Every structure is written in C-alpha cells, then in structure tokens.
Chains A and B, each alone.
Chain A
Amino acid sequence: DIQMTQSPSSLSASVGDGVTITCRASQSISSYLNWYQQKPGKAPKLLIYAASSLQSGVPSRFSGSGSGTDFTLTISSLQPEDLATYYCQQAYSHPTFGGGTKVEIK
C-alpha cells in the first residue's frame, strides 16, 4: 500500500496569513493526489484534484502543487471559515489518506 505522510499535524495561524501543508507519498504517484477539507462534525469536501486543479466552487485562495512524491496545499490568505482538518489522498492505486493537518485560527 502507498503510505501518505502529512506535515505538520497541526498549525495555528492568524487571519490573513499564508498557510502551507505538505504531503509526501511513499512512492511516486505522478499527479494522482487530492486534497480535502473536513470541518468538525461534517463530511469531507474536495478542494483540489489531480494535485493542482481547483474543484468547482472552491475559493481561489486554495491552491495545490507538486508531482511524484511531494505535494503542497497552500491557503494564500487564511479566513476564519478555513478552520478545519485537511487531508491528502492518493488516487494512484486504491485510495489512502494522509493523517490530516488540523488548522486553527490564532
């Protein structure tokens, strides 16, 4: 199975700050990498697919990059509604998720 490792596991930032979350795959997955946002008590929501494509309806402050084994999710200007846990997921083989990054607002 392909293992996905996210870092950091949690972070705290102020409104307006830029935030970067990284995800590393245990083997190359090309660009088969998706990012999700999960708010407390809710189902996950797809933000980014194929490493860098923005899902319809998702604010443009979210962006993704990377290929091979190393990927990043960037929030350009953190907003209060971005309080959530973020997960990466590889789609190269049967899906596996990263451990999550909890984003808190200072």
Chain B
Amino acid sequence: EVQLVESGGGLIQPGGFLRLSCAASGFTVSGNYISWVRQAPGKGLEWVSIIYSGGDTFYADSVQGRFTISRDNSKNTVYLQMDSLRAEDTAVYFCARAPTITTNFDSWGQGTLVTVSS
C-alpha cells in the first residue's frame, strides 16, 4: 500500500527554521516525483517544491532561496528544509507523489501544520 507520512511541523518564530519529513512506504521516492504542497488556514492549495526522480529540484517563487527539498533514498524519505520563515508560511504542508513528470498527484500524506508566529 502506498503511504506518505509527514512530520516535523510546529510553532516557530519568524526568522526561524524547521525541517519537515515525508516518509514513504509502498514505493521508492527515488523512482517518483515528490512535491510539497501547502494550504494556509481557510485558503486554497499552493505548490511549494518538487524533487524529480532524477534528482532535479524546483521551487515556487514565494519560497525560492529559503526552502530546500532533498531526499534520503536509504530512508525512503523526502525533506523540506525551511529557513527564514515568515508569517505567510503558516500552513498545513502536504507531501504528494506523482508517478510521472505530468504531476498527477495520486497519493498524499495527511499533512503537518506549521505555524509561524511570535
């Protein structure tokens, strides 16, 4: 069974940093396209970042230079390092799998809440 489990969310002060984890089971992260998608409270979905099966990484303009996506194939886990956090980064962060580059996200985690506030 394909499963994604996020962890690492919490309350953090503006300017702080946090690392989210997305542990996968039932498939290999190295053979798929894994994205982070966030949803601010009461708002819609916003794509944040993606790591391709080949290792290429891409970011939304809103997080470029502050967030870094990576993966550990031995742990079958994808990470999102979030630095210089801002209040507007407050959201539930989902990781999602796309089996192909056409990013049809067919499996999602349950999400982890990040709250940036002093």
Q: Which residues on A are within 8 Å of B, measured CB to CB?
A: 1, 32, 34, 36, 38, 43-46, 49-50, 55, 87, 89, 91, 94-100
Contact = CB atoms under 8 A, between A and B. Distances in A.
A43 B37 CA distance: 10
B104 A49 contact: yes
Contact of B45 (A1, A87, A91): A87
Contact of B47 (A32, A45, A94): A94
A38 B105 CA distance: 13
B108 A45 contact: yes
Given A43-B109, A91-B102, 11 more contacts: A34-B103, A36-B45, A36-B105, A46-B105, A49-B102, A50-B102, A94-B58, A95-B37, A95-B47, A97-B37, A97-B45
A96 B108 contact: no
B72 interface: no
A34 B60 contact: no
A44 B103 contact: no
B45 A43 contact: no
B106 to A, nearest CB: 5
Interface in B21-41: 35, 37
A98 B44 CA distance: 8
Contacts of A91: 102-104
Nearest to A87: B45
B85 interface: no
Nearest to B98: A91
